[in-house]
Amino acid sequence: MPKNPDSNSGFNRRSFIKGAGMTALAGAAGAVATASTSASAQSSSSIPKLANGKYDFDTPYNRVGSNCARWDSPGLNYPAGVFKYGMGVASIDFECAPCITEALAERTNHHNWGYMSSTQPLRDGIVGWNGERHGVELDPDSITIASGVYSGMIAAMRAFIPAAGKLLLVTPVYSGFYTMARNAHVATVDSQMIRKNGRYEVNWKDLEAKMTSDIRAMVVCNPQNPTGNVWTEEELLRMGRLALEHNIVVLSDEIHSDVIRSGHKYVPFASLPDRAVVNNSVSFNAISKTFNMAGMKNAYFYSKSPTMLDRVDQYHHAELSTLGVAANAAAYRHGAEWFDQANAYLDENHTFMENYIKQNMPDVVYTKNEGTFMTFLDVSKIMTSIGAAEQYIAAEKASPEYYFRDWLVHNSGVYLNPGSVYGAGGEGHVRMNLASSRMVLKEVLDSMTMAFNKV
């Protein structure tokens, strides 16, 4: 066994600290620089302690140099020093729940990594969490464990959509569904939502018109990423009944189901009060958004119809890792308190951001999301002011929204996701992640405001 595990893992502590000083954290103002100076403490200390019964989400947790997609990837595409803030990828910046670090530490005390025997602790966790928090009763045997929502969804698309069949998406929606459809060799059709009084609504007439005989499955994303819609029981039933009438299977992606803003309620598709609608669906979920464990590769899917589940299972095979199972099982069992505090903090971030935008960014349109830790900002006025629609071709960008994304990085250091990747209705928008320390969030918003004010 190597004496210095860092030398093997690609996570080099010295370069981590140096990296932290060189990119976002060094370039940023005093508040965030605090994170830079505490990076060595963070990387050498182990498990976060509670202060007065509270976890600390305020002190920025430095992820730069840890090979993370959110903070380390975007900079590779810009000249050194230009990129500062990774506010795109849907991952959380907080130090994880202590129970996760504890479970991993305990398992690494045993130095053998052969095949794992059972995923039972994970199954028990899934059943307990969904029952206690969301009132949905799951039979452990009706759950298929997956390495991600991606692999389950791709299997379902292959199972239900024959050659020349299509997948229906209610848009703007998570760009990953287009990738999954490509992987399953399936074409997609968009039904664009309408924005009414600050909320996205399904365009029912359009949705039904798009339910032609070649559409064989539709995705219900609840909460909807990136718009943040948390669908009501009435909306879910209406989508479910339309799908059933048109012989379309519902694939319900509920990966953001725990991250619900106060005043809203997540309704699991499988809990709808219509047996036929429920039996026409497969639900996909994970605890990876809840606890920021996307790198631990665990998810699951289930159906109240054994036949439907069996069809997906025929196209699916999961490869899980021992550490991923240990981490996920620990989060289900012991993480509720951490998550409730984190979610309350995210709620305040949403309110903070809504107020900040109203007060300081007159050209940006945004209403607080109902769920998720993402926001979808209408920046069309600023895009017009910088001539994005005219400039993007000469600048060799894929769309005006990509042009805006790069303009913003060059003018503020802030990296966001271009709205055009989320299908019809994404034009003129960017997606921004607000799951960060509020200090960082404010600094990011200040940088964006300065850039917008110069236009």
Ligand X SMILES: Cc1ncc(COP(=O)(O)O)c(C=O)c1O
Q: Which residues bind ligand X (CB under 6 A)?
A: 90, 148-150, 174, 176, 221, 225, 253, 255, 286, 288, 294, 299
In the bound complex, what is the minimum distance in angstroms from residue 156's beta carbon to ligand X? Answer: 13
- C-beta of 149 vs 357, nearer to ligand X: 149
- C-beta of 154 vs 159, nearer to ligand X: 154
In the bound complex, what is the minimum distance in angstroms from residue 417's beta carbon to ligand X? Answer: 10
- C-beta of 11 vs 150, nearer to ligand X: 150
- C-beta of 149 vs 282, nearer to ligand X: 149
In the bound complex, what is the minimum distance in angstroms from residue 404's beta carbon to ligand X? Answer: 21
* Cα–Cα dist 373/177, whole Å: 19
Q: How far is CA 56 from CA 63, 99, 260, 327, 344, in A?
A: 16, 15, 20, 20, 12
In the bound complex, what is the minimum distance in angstroms from residue 89's beta carbon to ligand X? Answer: 8
* Cα–Cα dist 96/79, whole Å: 31
- C-beta of 138 vs 388, nearer to ligand X: 138
* Cα–Cα dist 366/358, whole Å: 8
Q: Going by C-beta distance under 8 Å and a sequence separation of 6 or more, which residues neighbour residue 292?
A: 91, 92, 94, 96, 435
Residue 311: CB atoms within 10 A of its CB come to: 19
* Cα–Cα dist 55/338, whole Å: 7
Provide the β-strand partners of residue 375: 432
- C-beta of 221 vs 312, nearer to ligand X: 221
83, 413 in Cβ contact below 8 A? Answer: yes
Sign of the four-CA dihedral 138, 142, 148, 150: negative
- C-beta of 420 vs 433, nearer to ligand X: 433
In the bound complex, what is the minimum distance in angstroms from residue 102's beta carbon to ligand X? Answer: 23
In the bound complex, what is the minimum distance in angstroms from residue 19's beta carbon to ligand X? Answer: 24
Cβ burial 330-344 (10 Å sphere, 16+ → b, else e)? bbbebbbebbebbbe
Q: Going by C-beta distance under 8 Å and a sequence separation of 6 or more, which residues neighbour residue 90?
A: 225, 289, 372, 373, 374, 433
Q: Which amino acid is at 99?
A: C
In the bound complex, what is the minimum distance in angstroms from residue 176's beta carbon to ligand X? Answer: 5
Residue nearest to ligand X (CB): 148
- C-beta of 35 vs 342, nearer to ligand X: 342
Candidates 201, 190, 374, 219; CA nearest to 283 is 219
In the bound complex, what is the minimum distance in angstroms from residue 215's beta carbon to ligand X? Answer: 20
DSSP state of 197: T
- C-beta of 39 vs 430, nearer to ligand X: 430
Alpha-helical runs (H) found in 141-227: 149-160, 176-183, 204-210
Residue 297 dihedral angles phi and psi, to the nearest 5°: 50, 65
* Cα–Cα dist 231/389, whole Å: 33
